[in-house]
Every structure is written in structure tokens, then in C-alpha cells.
Amino acid sequence: MMTFLKKTLLVISATTLSLPTAFGLYFSDVEKENKNYFSINALAQEEIVAGYEDNNFYPWKEVSRAEAVTMILNAISASNDTFDIDNVQEPSEQPFSDTELSEWYTKYINEAVQREMVDGYEDNTFQPHKTINLAELLKILVSAQEGYTSETSDEQPFADIPLNEWFTEYATYAKTHDMLYVSGSNNVDPGQNVTRGYLAEMLYRLKYNKQGYNFGKATFYGEVFHGRTTASGSKFDMNAMTAAHKTMAFGTTVEVTNLANGKSIQVEITDRGPYGHGRVIDLSEGAFTQIAERGRGIINVQIKEIQ
């Protein structure tokens, strides 16, 4: 069983999060260029996630429904002074027919029931050992958010999530908070099994989106556009530290961090774009190669406007 770390009031500043040298010591199997490198290590530094006794995190390991509930409660505990996961009480009755009182996870599932995070299945089972899929995970994670109320929308959040699905409202919330990996065809694959790495990514993105960060893919434009006039009226210089964003004012300085290695660069918004699904910023080639190898082409990033 994994070791769950105790709650801490440690707060990581944006400056600290931008230092790749602060990471790399937590788990032997989460190295740079793992796409969840930054999120896993940031959450480990905040004691929101923990690994196993062999010093591995196993980011590719699929998550059971019981593990998902416990990881989400641990995240709540780390950021909420009124709730401590170490003080969760053992229930006097089974919350579901298949959650025995003797099992380690039953008290956490019972806590999730009390918080209206989980409902279980129609046959009064929870199936704690079943691998959780993305749709189920979103329901639990979004329902756990303080102040969340059910909302309806007239638009599909993603191409593979129709308006009439039971989990559409949770996917809409996830889209609003940049929680998910989105393909170029605007798909998120709600039926996919969730890994520990992806769950850590969602926890991290949700936490920091609320603090003003945005998440998505970044690519670059280079020599073919060099010297052309940008939307701001300036001439594009492929070697300058500039970028395109759909809405930020021209002249805005933005910090861009590669989530696979923690490298950051500050760029100035001089153009409009990108317009592909899941993409959050287009960098000049010069800026892109400061935080990733040119051959990567597309990387997952977090961005934040610098005041």
C-alpha cells in the first residue's frame, strides 16, 4: 500500500515552482520528460501525493476507485484547514455492500459518501478494486470541489462527450479549469482508464488554475513566418522571446513552463493564435527551444500572465 503523507500548510510560490532544480528527488521513476513530471513533483513537494515504499510513484499504474477517492481526499486535506485526512473516522456501518469495515479504504469511501462525492452503483456496490475511468473520476473530483453546483450548458464540452451524458456537467467543469489532455480533434476519451500520473496532473491543474494558471499545448512558428507582420503590427522575429495568444493584450508578459521538465521562459504577446483544440499558446521558435528540444514540436505547458 502507498504511504499517505500528512497534511502540511506548505505553500509553493510560483517562483519556486519554476525552478526545475527543486524537483527530481521525490520518485526514482518520475524523471524529466515524463509528461507528468512537473505536476507529480509539485504535489509531492506540497505533500498532496505520495509514492510507495520503494521510492517509486508508478505514474503509469491504473487507479482503482478506492485509490482515487483516497488521493482526492488527501488533496482536500492538504489545502483545507478544517479537514485532516488523518482524522477520518472508522464508520460503524458499511457504506456499500462490498466495502467491508476491515478494509483500509472503507473509512475514506464513507467520508466521500458524507461529502456527496460518490453514489456507488444501483446494486449498492462501490466496486472499490475496479479501475476508475475518466468519466467516473471527473464526477468524484468535481463533486469534491467546495461550492460546486450542478450547471447545464448548451454546448458540448468536447467532441466525444454529448450533451446528454450523465457526466457532461463534470466534463464542462473540467474544460473550464483546463484539467484534461485534449486531442487535436477535441476528444478526451472519457472511457479511458485513469493512471496515477494523469490523476496527479488533474489535481495539479485544478489547484493552480484557480490561482490564475492556464494549461494546454504549446507549439512554435519559425522561419517560414520570419519577417511577416504580426497581428500587433510588429515584424515577427523567430529568435525573439515572443508568442501568440487568442485574447491576452499585446505587450503582455507571460511565463511559460514546460510540464515535462520544469523549464520556464518569459515571452511577450505580439500575435494572435493558436486556434487548434487543446492549444493554449504559440511560441516563437527561439522561445520554444529555450524550454524544449525543437524536435518535440508540441509540448504540454502551463502559462501565467506576469503582473
Return the minimum-mean-pLDDT range out of 22-26, 39-43, 109-113, 284-288: 22-26
Scan for cell 507549439, then name that residue.
219
Segment 56-79 mean pLDDT: 96
pLDDT at 26: 85
Arithmetic mean of pLDDT over the chain = 91
- Of 65, 75, 140, nearest to 105 by C-alpha is 65
* Entry pTM: 0.90
pLDDT at 153: 84
Task: Indicate whether 18 pLDDT > 60.
Answer: no
- Domains, in order of start, for the chain: 14-209 (no CATH), 214-305 (2.40.40.10)
Give the whole-angstrom CA distance, residue 83 versus residue 204.
19
Residues ≥6 apart with Cβ < 8 Å to 98: 125, 126, 127, 128
pLDDT tens per residue, range 145-182: 988 988 788 899 999 999 999 999 999 999 999 999 99
Task: Indicate whether 16 pLDDT > 60.
Answer: no
Segment 246-267 mean pLDDT: 97
pLDDT bracket for residue 307 (50, 70, 90): low
Give the whole-angstrom CA distance, residue 197 versus residue 176.
21
Contact (CB, 8 A) for 192 and 57 = no
The C-alpha cell of 197 is what? 500520473
Return the minimum-mean-pLDDT range out of 27-36, 146-155, 259-268, 271-280: 146-155
Q: Where are the alpha helices (DSSP H) in the chain?
A: 14-17, 37-45, 65-78, 106-114, 134-143, 168-176, 196-209, 285-291
